[in-house]
């Protein structure tokens, strides 16, 4: 899936969010993606919508580590 991300070094826009280097989920629909430019190799970061086919994997991973917004606060 191509994202509307533009490399500040070479101007490339053909990024694939599935090839992210790291991702920080900001809310259920948005994440900060760190990517490598497919043309020049520069590091690029952008806030993008999470692709639908990644959402299930992200939700599962968050559940495994007890992360996520809206969960109950554990009793101490």
**pLDDT digit string (tens) for 8-59?**
999 999 999 999 999 999 988 899 999 999 999 999 999 999 999 999 888 8
Look up residue 58 and give its two tokens.
């992200």
Look up residue 50 and give its two tokens.
């999470």
Place of tokens 């991702």: 23
> What is the per-residue pLDDT for 3?
56
Q: What is the pTM of this model?
A: 0.77
Residue 32's nearest CA partner among 40, 23, 41 is 23
Distance, in Å, from the CA atom of 7 to the CA atom of 31, rounded to the nearest integer, reads 18
> What is the per-residue pLDDT for 1?
45
């Amino acid at each position: 899936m191509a994202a509307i991300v533009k490399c500040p070094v070479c101007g490339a826009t053909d990024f694939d969010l599935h090839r992210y280097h790291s991702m920080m989920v900001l809310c259920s629909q948005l994440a900060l993606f760190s990517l490598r430019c497919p043309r020049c190799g520069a590091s690029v970061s952008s806030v993008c919508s999470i692709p639908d086919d990644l959402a299930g994997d992200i939700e599962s991973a968050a559940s495994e580590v007890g992360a996520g917004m809206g969960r109950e606060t554990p009793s101490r």
